[in-house]
Structure 1
């Protein structure tokens, strides 16, 4: 689960901060320090769903701003997927919405 969490954060931060013609944001960039696989791994091992959802929500909020908000077509879909993720109450229930977020963010890059 740690890798998809890191990937969602990476894709969201790419939408928010990456600009054409500039260096791409990579997993080892300083901007990813709070969203590294090891950080998510610790939270997953602890079963800290609230902290996981908080970190992901922060990244998704930045991506949402970059998309023009929840009123845009891309923003509406991202918002719907983010709500599904935030409504999960167990670690097992995070999987499906997490994969949907990852796939969506990858598709709109």
Structure 2
């Protein structure tokens, strides 16, 4: 799950800040420090579902802003996926919606 969380964060930061004429954002960039695998792993080991949801929500706010908000087709779908993720109450329930978020973020890159 740590890798999934890091990947969702990476895709959202790429969407929000990466431009065609700039260097690509990588996992070891400074802006990834709050979302790196070790940070996510600590939250998973603690079973801190609320903190995990907060981290993902921070990323999704950036991504939603980058794609024009919830008024766009992409934004509405992303908002739906975020709502599914937010409905999870246990670590185990986070997997499927997190995979859906990762796949969608990858597709809209």
Question: Which residue of structure 2 lines up, in the alignment, with residue 23 of structure 1?
Answer: 23
Inter-partner Cα distance in structure 1 for 2:96 and 2:78: 14
Inter-partner Cα distance in structure 1 for 2:55 and 2:98: 13
| Cα displacement (A) at 1:86 | 1.0
What's the secondary structure of 2:28's corresponding residue? Answer: coil
Question: Which residue of structure 1 lines up, in the alignment, with residue 61 of structure 2?
Answer: 61
Aligned ranges 1:80-99 → 2 under 5 Å = 80-99=80-99
Give the number of aligned pairs: 109
| Cα displacement (A) at 1:87 | 1.1
* RMSD between aligned residues: 0.4
- Structure 2: any 5+ residue segments left out of the alignment? none
- Structure 1: any 5+ residue segments left out of the alignment? none
What TM-score do the two structures reach when normalised by structure 1?
A: 0.99
Inter-partner Cα distance in structure 1 for 2:45 and 2:101: 21
What TM-score do the two structures reach when normalised by structure 2?
A: 0.99
